[in-house]
Every structure is written in C-alpha cells, then in structure tokens.
Structure 1
Amino acid sequence: MVISLLRRGGSDAGGARSVSAGGAGVAVRTLAVLLQAGARPMTAWQHLADSGDPVAGRVVERCAAGAELVGAIDAEGGAWSDVAAAWEVATIVGAPLAEVLRALAESLQDAASAADDVRIALAEPTGTARLLLWLPFAGLLLGLALGFDTIGVLFTNPFGAACVGLGIVLMLAARWWTARMVRTAQPAPGTPGMHAELVAVALAGGVGIPRALRLVELSPADLAADRSRTDAVLELSRAAGVPAGELLRASAAQQRHDARVQGRVRAAALSSKLLLPLGACTLPAFLLLGVAPLMLSVLASTPLPI
C-alpha cells in the first residue's frame, strides 16, 4: 500500500500535486496536536472536519462509506499522498504518530514556503511576458485611434494579408516559447526530501535500515534523486556510527532549502531569458500587425501624383 501511495503521489505532477502543501501542513499539525492529546485517529479527523476543514470532511465521508483511512487520505492527492504514505509507514512500524505528523507538518510548510517564494519571484517576469504579448494588438488600436483603417488594410491589401499571417504565426510562437520558459522555471512537483523523511519515519519505529528502505524501495521517478541522497546519508551514518534518523531529517531540510534557492535562481534567470521571444517574435509581430498596417494605410490614403 505504501508503494502505491508513493507512485500515485509522485506521478500526477500536473493535477494532484497542485494541492497546497501549506494547507495540508496546517491540518496535519492540528491532527498531531489532537493525537498527542489522546484522541484516536478517526476521532481526530472528525474533530478536524467539525472545525470546517473540507479535506477532513471528505476523508471522514470516505471512511464512513467503508474506505480505509489511509486510502481516504490518499484520495485527496497532492501533498496528502505524502501524508497518507507517512501515516501508513508510522502505523506499520509503530512509530509515534503524533510526532511523525508534527515533523511532517514542518516539512510540508517548508516546502510550501519554498514554492511560494518561487511563485512570487516568477510573478513579475510572467506578468511582463503576458503584457508584451498584447503589444502587436496595441499597435492596431493606435492606428485606428489616429484615424487610419489599419484593420481594413490587413484584409484588402495582399501585403496586409501577408502581414496578418506572418504576425499571427510569430504571436503564437512567442506565446508557446514564453509558456515553455515559465513552465521550466516552475518548482518541481512533489515535496523535496520526502524519501529521506519517510525513511526517517520508518527508523523512528525501531526497524532496521534494510526494512525501512524496503518500505519505499519502489519510489516514483520524482523521488529517484532523493534516493541517492538518502543512500549517501545512510553511508555517512554507518561510517560515523551515529543514528541515521536525525541525519536524514537534516538532509531533507537541506533538500528543501536547495529547492528554494534553485527556484529563485530560475526565476531570476527567467527575466533575461524572456528577452529572447520578445526580440525574435513579439517585436517583429508588432511591426507586422501594428506598424506595417499603419504604413499601408498611409500609402493607400495618399493620392498618387498626376
């Protein structure tokens, strides 16, 4: 069950992973407090649902319909798939569930903060790119405001029709190119360091490292890099003779920090990279759709000398 949860949670990057890790972190922290106070798992979820949390309400409804608790949590997707996986690992190995959830809540909120930082950094260059895509159409409106029939020229003059076709192609190319750059600069799906966190959860239950690794050995593609870092931390733990749990949590925290820094760097680089579609596509499209029709209108309205 753990493996299936991890596989679904990591593969649906475009949809389920869009669930807010920050919102999940707040709810998970509340669950940890309720469990630490002595509430049973389903009672804690019911209290959270009664407080108005929509995710908890849906989880309680699924459980009332006969679903298992872990499956009901995983059905929410996104960050909740990580919560479901950690919940089941802790249950299997007998780790203190309240402590596991408290540590997981901090991880989810750190990941949400990193993603928010990247989105804020991307807001300005992304908004600028979208604004510039309207520049050619602004040229058409400017021609109309000056009293020239720029739109009519585009469809009655052969050169105008050619300008329309080539300008539209350039606009579509600029839109595709800009969108591709913005997607590349977006944070990677998933919670950085989650592989190390899950292994640390398993070790907290007192199991050995081999069994802990077997619980997550079929991790999805987006956790493959995390697995190599987890192995490096475990090797360091064996060589130094120190417990691996704290080292794994420190490694997970470092991975979240690295993701935040790399996201900021990508966002900063995006501002200069957006000049490429601007110079190669948007400005030529402005000349074809804005300036060229104006010039053709001027020529058409100018009487020929006798």
Structure 2
Amino acid sequence: MTGIAVALLLAFVGITLALPRAGRRSGVTPGVGTGPIPASSPAQQSRRVLDGRPWRSAGRRTVDLHELPLFVHQLAGLLRAGRPPHVLWEDMERVHADGRTAFAVTALPVIATARRAAELGLSVPDALRQALDNTSAPARVGMARSRVDRLWVDLAGCLIVAERSGAPLAGILEQYATQLDAQLDGLSARETALAGPRATVVLLAWLPALGLVLAFALGVNPLEVLFGSSLGRLALAGGVLLMLVARLWSRRLVGRVDGSP
C-alpha cells in the first residue's frame, strides 16, 4: 500500500509539473485590459498611458512582435492615403491612444516625442533616437523589447534615407514592413523546428521519475535499493548528477539554436 501511495503521489506531481502554464506562455496578466474604456478624447487617453497610472499593469504584458510590421504598414498606408508627413505621428498617436496592447503602451511615449518634433519643425529621426535613449535601461529587457527598440532606429533610418534621396517614404516603409514580416516568418519556422527537441528534453528529464513510478506500480521498492546500501546511494548520486548534466547540456544546445542566452 505504501508503494502504491508513493507511486500515485509521484504521478500526481509529474502531471502537475508537466501541465503547460498558459498564463506564463501568453505573457498576459489576467484581468488586464478587459474593463470598459472610459469615454474621453484620444489626447486624454494618451496622457493616461504616458502617466502610467491606470494603464501601468498593461506595460507588463508581452509585446506581440506582429504589431511591429503592422505599425509600419499603418504609417505607409497613411502616406499612401495622402496624409502629410508632419501630421503622420499625430494620426498614429490617435490610433494607439487607447493603450490596449503592450506595444501601444511602449510606443506611445516615442510617438508623442516624434509628434512634438514634427509640430515644432524639428528632426523627427533625431527625436526618435532621443526618445529611445531616454527610455530607462531596466525596461528594455528581452527579445521583444530589443526588437521594439530596433524598430525606432530603423524608422529613423528610413526617414533619413527618404529626406536625403527624395525617394517616396511610403515605398521605403512598405519594403521595411515586408522585411519585418519575413523575419517573423523565419522566427515562426524556427519555433516550429525547435518544438520537437524541446519536447524531447522534457521527456528525457522526466524518465527517471517515470521509472520510479513504474517500479512502485510493479511492487518493487526502489527506495530501499537506492538508500539501503552505499552502492545504491552512489548509484543515486551518479544518476542525479548525470541527469542534471544532461538537462543543462540539452538546454544549452536548444538555447544556442534559439539564440537565447
């Protein structure tokens, strides 16, 4: 009876740890952004986002990388529709003033800086870089934030190229958005290719625990063998050491392919 109880307990712990954590993978805090939006002007909503009081919890959500090429497509679409460049950033500020997404919360301070520079007749590329430099360093953590920072640098470069060469800004932005779409497609393909190795790493990590459960189910008490003699304790220590080394080595291999540190 004791062996069956221990086997059931180990099986319960294994199933609990193996269940996917949906909230952690999605990066969305429960209850954030689900309430009604107060009726106010876009400028007031933008100030609320910039102040960070009612929408502060939205900034902790994970930035969806697909919003980056969408943002560039929106800029190009407004230019194609005939909007002049000096009101472009004001239009984008209205579009993202609700602050519903993590990208909107992150981008609104930079958009507001670019809008003020355009209204004053200053250099918008310099304003984009200045807004990026003024962003606190602890906030720029992770692949998503680094790609958002890269977006503003690339947009500043697109604006400089359009100003110096006289090429249509809309065409340059569309080509840049196409490049971002291609990069996201490559990331998706890499994640699909790494799904198998990651599942194999998890399976190999849980094989020793499954072996203990199977031994208890067959009526054998492996704890007596492992702790009953010095040879058993030596085998247990060696097995745990090899399991940790295999786990770390497998994670390192997957991390090198994934590009994560």
- Residue aligning to 2:70: 26
Which residue is 1:60 aligned to? 108
Counterpart for residue 46 of structure 1: 93
Identity of aligned residues (%): 30
Separation of aligned partners in 2, 1:83 and 1:44? 18
Between 1 and 2, higher relative CO (CA 8 Å, sep ≥ 6) is seen in 1
Q: How does 1:36-115 map to 2 (within 5 A)?
A: 36-37=80-81, 38=83, 40-50=87-97, 52-61=100-109, 64=112, 68-72=127-131, 75=135, 77-93=145-161, 94=163, 95-115=167-187
Q: Is the radius of gyration larger for structure 1 or structure 2?
A: 1
Structure 1 CA distance for aligned equivalents of residues 242 and 225 of structure 2: 19
Contact map agreement 1:90 1:96 (CA 8 A) in 2: no
The runs of 5 or more residues in structure 1 that have no matched partner are: 1-17, 190-306
- Give the conservation status (yes or no) of the 8 Å contact 1:154–1:164: yes
Q: How many residues align?
A: 172
Secondary structure of 1:147 counterpart: coil
TM-score where L is the length of structure 1? 0.49
What is the root-mean-square deviation in Å for CA atoms of aligned residues? 3.0
What secondary structure does 1:166 align onto?
A: helix
State the distance in 2 between where 1:118 and 1:36 align: 34
Q: 1:41 to 1:89 in 2, by over 3 A?
A: same
Q: Any stretches of 5+ residues in structure 2 without a counterpart?
A: 1-61, 118-126
| Residues 93 and 108 in structure 2, CA contact (< 8 A), matched pair in contact too | yes
The answer to whether the 8 Å contact 1:19/1:78 transfers is no
Change (3 A) 1:78 1:97: farther
| Distance in 1 (alpha carbons) for counterparts of 2:217 and 2:184 | 47
TM-score when scaled to structure 2? 0.56
Contact 1:118 1:186 in 2 (8 A): yes
| CA contact 1:87–1:97 (8 Å) conserved in 2 | no
Secondary structure in 1 aligned to 2:219? Answer: coil
